[in-house]
Amino acid sequence: MERGTSTLLAGIAGALTFPALALGLALPLWLSLLVAGGVFGGLVLALRPSGFGLNLNAMMEAQSDTVRGLLADGGAALTRIKRIAPAIKDPAMKASVLALAATSDQILAHVQGDTARAMAVRRYLTFYLPNAASIAEGWQTIEASAGSPPERKQQARDVMNALNEAAAKYAGEADAPELSELDLSLKVVKDSLKADLEKTV
């Protein structure tokens, strides 16, 4: 924020604070003036573009860097999955890996340039998707090894199926992150109501 704009906003806030305290709360004039001056000075510091203030441009740039990093991590893992999927011989496992790749494509498309959506699927892009790539690559090693135990194959199938479920969940959060906030709000209110109702019983 430019210096002139921040000073203007701070001045307006200070000017509104003085009559609100002096007339609205009936505080002494000297105290109202002191508080209004503090509001003005505090906002000037908070809104200045450098120093101790909030550098809004730097914050936005940091968020953009975070989103770019998330997309890079997720994109690299997805590239690994797409490269290995055609080489998988087992039909069921191949279908599962391809389904995961398709859902991940949707997730990446949804979060392009949207900080809120990208942060909603951060764990998926940085943890689940890279591990899914490792499992897909590991499956090719399993198929190439004649002596691989059935338990390992089944475990790999189970984990890949669970990853597909996680991908579907995160796809929904990427499509509408506000719904996750709604779910959280509903849970908090429900728990609060339950606690209050139990007190009255």
The answer to whether residues 64 and 40 belong to one domain is no
User: pLDDT value at position 53?
Assistant: 47
The answer to whether residues 100 and 162 belong to one domain is yes
Which residue is listed with tokens 């339950």?
194
Whole-number Å distance between alpha carbons of 87 and 112 = 29
The answer to whether residues 101 and 171 belong to one domain is yes
Does residue 200 sit within a domain? no
pLDDT in tens, the chain (201 residues): 445 565 667 677 767 777 776 677 777 777 777 777 777 777 666 666 554 445 555 556 666 777 788 888 899 999 999 999 999 999 999 999 999 999 999 988 888 867 677 777 888 888 999 999 999 999 988 888 877 788 888 899 999 999 999 898 888 877 655 545 555 555 666 666 677 677 655
- pTM flag (> 0.85): no
Does residue 26 sit within a domain? yes
113 sits in the region (left: phi over 0; alpha: psi -120 to 50; else beta) called left
Does residue 166 sit within a domain? yes
Per the structure, the complete domain to which residue 28 belongs is given by: 3-47
The answer to whether residues 19 and 43 belong to one domain is yes
Whole-number Å distance between alpha carbons of 108 and 7 = 41
Residues 6+ apart with CB under 8 A from 119: 66, 177
Query: Residue 156: what residue type?
Result: A
The answer to whether residues 71 and 158 belong to one domain is yes
Residue 108, number of CB atoms within 10 A of its CB: 19
The answer to whether residues 171 and 96 belong to one domain is yes
Residues 6+ apart with CB under 8 A from 118: 66, 67, 70, 71, 111, 125
Angle at which helices 129-144 and 150-175 pack, to 10 degrees? Answer: 150
Number of domains composing the chain: 2
The answer to whether residues 101 and 183 belong to one domain is yes
The answer to whether residues 40 and 102 belong to one domain is no
Whole-number Å distance between alpha carbons of 181 and 114 = 16
Query: Residue 168: what residue type?
Result: A
Does residue 91 sit within a domain? yes
Does residue 196 sit within a domain? no
The answer to whether residues 115 and 148 belong to one domain is yes
What is the DSSP code (8-state) at residue 50? S
What is the DSSP code (8-state) at residue 53? S
Whole-number Å distance between alpha carbons of 9 and 15 = 10
User: pLDDT value at position 143?
Assistant: 86
Does residue 163 sit within a domain? yes
Does residue 25 sit within a domain? yes
The answer to whether residues 77 and 163 belong to one domain is yes
Sign, CA torsion 157/162/165/171: negative
The answer to whether residues 30 and 98 belong to one domain is no
Does residue 73 sit within a domain? yes
The answer to whether residues 165 and 68 belong to one domain is yes
